[in-house]
Structure formats: structure tokens, C-alpha cells
């Protein structure tokens, strides 16, 4: 149950970071409404809070989160921008996920 909760928080944080960043991207790059930037900033603030709910120290959480971010970014590009992942994307994403599992959930002594 602890691992499922931890993975939920990783995915939630990733969606907040990518979603908030994407809204700011739309504001700056696509010249969309400044309200998107405000909403993006609020969502990015939520992203900064969510990792504090993880059951590990800061450095470990953020190191593992990097792998989650990689996979979610590939999926975001596919579903939102239509950039279909190719074999290197999929293999790289799987390697990143293996890294997450080792960093966060490998049994530790002591």
C-alpha cells in the first residue's frame, strides 16, 4: 500500500509539473491568455508541495521523480501533442522506471 500511495503522489506531482509548465508554455510560446500563466503557476506550486508527502528524503524523492517525469513527458507528448513514442522513447522510459523502482523501493538495511 505504501508503494501504491507513493506512485500515486509521483504521478500526481508529474501531472502538475508538466501541466503547469505546459500552461506557461502556451502563454509564452503560443501567445495565449495570461490567465493560463496564473493557473500554471498555481499548479506548479501544487507540484512543489506534493513530493513532501513521499516517504523518503528529499534527494531520493527528486532523483526518483526524474524517472517518473521522463515517462510522463513521453506520454504527455503522445496524448496532448500527438508525438507517438518510438522504440528509443519506450526503452528509455522503461530504463527510467527501473531506476525509480531501485532508488525508491529497493529494500535497505538498517
Q: What is the pLDDT of residues 62-109, one digit of tens each?
A: 999 999 999 999 999 999 999 999 999 999 999 999 999 999 999 988
pTM of this prediction? 0.86
Q: Is residue 1 very low, low, confident or very high in pLDDT (cuts 50, 70, 90)?
A: confident
Residue owning grid cell 491568455: 33
How many Å separate Cα 55 from the centre of its chain? 17
All three cell numbers of 75: 506520454
Confidence of residue 13 (pLDDT cuts 50, 70, 90): very high
For 23-71, the pLDDT digits (tens) are 999 999 999 999 999 999 999 999 999 999 999 999 999 999 999 999 9
Question: Which residue in this structure is represented by grid cell 521522463?
Answer: 70
Whether the Cβ atoms of residue 26 and residue 36 lie closer than 8 Å to each other? yes
Amino acid at each position: 500500500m505504501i508503494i501504491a500511495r507513493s506512485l500515486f503522489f509521483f504521478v500526481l506531482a508529474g501531472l502538475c509539473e508538466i501541466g503547469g509548465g505546459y500552461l506557461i508554455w502556451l502563454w509564452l510560446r503560443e501567445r495565449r491568455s495570461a490567465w493560463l500563466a496564473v493557473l500554471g503557476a498555481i499548479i506548479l506550486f501544487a507540484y512543489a508541495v506534493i513530493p513532501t508527502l513521499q516517504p523518503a528524503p528529499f534527494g531520493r524523492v527528486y532523483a526518483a521523480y526524474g524517472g517518473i517525469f521522463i515517462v510522463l513527458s513521453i506520454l504527455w507528448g503522445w496524448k496532448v501533442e500527438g508525438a507517438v513514442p518510438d522504440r528509443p522513447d519506450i526503452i528509455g522510459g522503461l530504463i527510467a522506471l527501473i531506476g525509480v523502482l531501485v532508488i525508491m523501493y529497493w529494500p535497505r538495511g538498517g
